[in-house]
Amino acid sequence: MPQNPKESLKNEIFETVETLKNAGKDRLSTCIEQNWSKTILAYSKKLNTWKPAREIEPELLSAFNKELARLEIKSGVRIKILDNIKKKRILQTAPHLGVTESPRMFCINWLGSLAVMEKDFYIVGMFSGIPFSNRSRPGRINSKKDPRNLFPSNLQDGLVYRSVIPEKLIESINSLPNSMKIFMSKMPFDIGSSYTKWALQTCQNIEKKVLKKKNLVYLDINEVVTNYLIQVLEKKDHIFYKIFFDFKTRAEFMKAFPNEIMFYSPFQDGKYEQMENITFSGNKLKGKHKKINLDNSIELIKELEDGRLCPALITGFLALAFLNEFKCLGSFAQVEYLPVYQKKLANLKFLKDYNILKTPTVNLTTGVFPFNTELYPIDIIMGGKFTPNKNTSFGELLMPMKHTLLESYFTGSERKNDKK
């Protein structure tokens, strides 16, 4: 006799959870075990519930404002978004910055935004500290039917952060059908203008259309953290100033986070753009092609102002989740590594006045639509069917990507790949 579909799903979930536990992925397995049977709407409501206790730093609020202004969001709307950020402090941090999303990231944004009320905002802090060769394909029109690469081969290993529009992108976009082009950003479309600004505006336009939501806000979270660091590194009593410029504090941080990547930096290798990792090395920040002395803050601030440093994961999450109590929603890797960061940071003496352990760090958003696991938002724009059901269980989104969960690369304190 055929097994009941609900019973079959339950058995598959329990089998997956047990395999994850045996692989040491305790946080991921527990999160799935506790939430798989919830409807997407109920789970989205849970994700979007949070009351921070600490006031947000004015420098961080100012940093968000600067990024929203860069994206040409009108002043009146910016005020509302900033008020939402100040009060709610919930941020989707799973997606990588690109012009069109993958099926999984699209599903993540449907899940994350579903329970957000119209008067509030669903804010996506897209991560630009990746190369264009990243598997999320940030420099491509992602589509099952007609994918288009927007960047030439010599830029494929270059950094998305602060990248600019190449000639190939303009040629590719001009060849698109008008039904697709109408969703592209209307900003000045010139060689050398900001790619991240154009990509964020376009991605937001497309997903507002397909998700039928006007309250989506997509921004570059690395730009926000850069804007914030430029301000706080001027203040000798600030935690970040002490980490970078106080020998005793830096030594304590380095002991907890040896060889941790603090920034990414672009460099040129002949005609090819590349990126490198920047870590602490004695009294310097150092990569193969860059050294920054830490005798004072002048050089580091200048590098940040000039866009030659992109904040890495620990730098961003320390600012957002742990100094300012943002509830950061993330994918299957983040729910493993963010609690590891949290535990290490909570044990640092110089952070004892911060309630580091209060911030929720296991906020899983992942999955694919069970009715079409290869559903790209751009294909919906071009006439594809999109029939989501808010009463679908979270487990039904997870099981079509079971093998991805089982093969996920982060356990304990070792990151084995480049996904977030």
In tens, the pLDDT along 76-88 reads: 999 999 999 999 9
Structure token digits, residue 67? 């990024």
pLDDT of residue 411: 47
Give the position of tokens 């600067």. 66
pLDDT band at 187 (very low <50, low <70, confident <90, very high): confident
Q: Which SS3 state, helix, strand or coil, does residue 169 take?
A: helix
Give the position of tokens 């990414």. 264
User: Would you give the distance in Å from CA 213 to the centre of its chain?
Assistant: 20
Q: What is the mean pLDDT of residues 234-246?
A: 98
pTM listed for this prediction: 0.96
End-to-end CA distance of the chain: 42
pLDDT of residue 418: 41
pLDDT of residue 218: 98
Number of H helices, E strands in the chain: 18, 13
Q: What is the mean pLDDT of residues 126-137?
A: 97
pLDDT of residue 143: 95
Q: Which SS3 state, helix, strand or coil, does residue 69 take?
A: helix
CA 102/CA 249 separation, integer angstroms: 41
pLDDT band at 419 (very low <50, low <70, confident <90, very high): very low
Phi, psi of 213 (to 5 degrees): -135, 135
Query: Which are the contacts of 134, defined by CB distance < 8 A and separation ≥ 6?
Result: 96, 160, 418
pLDDT band at 188 (very low <50, low <70, confident <90, very high): confident
pLDDT of residue 345: 98
pLDDT band at 108 (very low <50, low <70, confident <90, very high): very high
CA 95/CA 263 separation, integer angstroms: 19
Average model confidence (pLDDT) across the chain? 95
Q: Is the pLDDT of residue 103 over 90?
A: yes
CA 134/CA 63 separation, integer angstroms: 27
Structure token digits, residue 173? 């976009």
Structure token digits, residue 46? 């849970």
Name the nearest CA neighbour of 112 among 367, 371, 348, 307. Answer: 367
CA 336/CA 409 separation, integer angstroms: 10
Name the nearest CA neighbour of 348 among 248, 236, 233. Answer: 248
CB atoms closer than 10 angstroms to residue 267: 16
User: Would you give the distance in Å from CA 225 to the centre of its chain?
Assistant: 12
pLDDT digits (tens, 9 = 90+) for 387-418: 999 999 999 999 999 999 998 766 444 444 44
Q: Is the pLDDT of residue 150 over 60?
A: yes
Query: Which are the contacts of 381, defined by CB distance < 8 A and separation ≥ 6?
Result: 179, 180, 183, 206, 209, 210
Structure token digits, residue 402? 């079971």
pLDDT of residue 107: 98
Q: Is the pLDDT of residue 240 over 50?
A: yes
Name the nearest CA neighbour of 132 among 62, 195, 88. Answer: 195
CA 134/CA 419 separation, integer angstroms: 8
Give the position of tokens 């494929």. 156
Q: What is the mean pLDDT of residues 235-253?
A: 98
Per DSSP bridges, beta strands 272-281 and 261-269 are: antiparallel
Q: What is the mean pLDDT of residues 257-277?
A: 97
Per DSSP bridges, beta strands 327-329 and 90-92 are: parallel
The single-letter DSSP state of residue 364 is B
Name the nearest CA neighbour of 269 among 416, 131, 149. Answer: 131
pLDDT band at 4 (very low <50, low <70, confident <90, very high): confident
pLDDT of residue 179: 86
Q: Is the pLDDT of residue 59 over 60?
A: yes
pLDDT band at 122 (very low <50, low <70, confident <90, very high): very high
CA 80/CA 76 separation, integer angstroms: 7
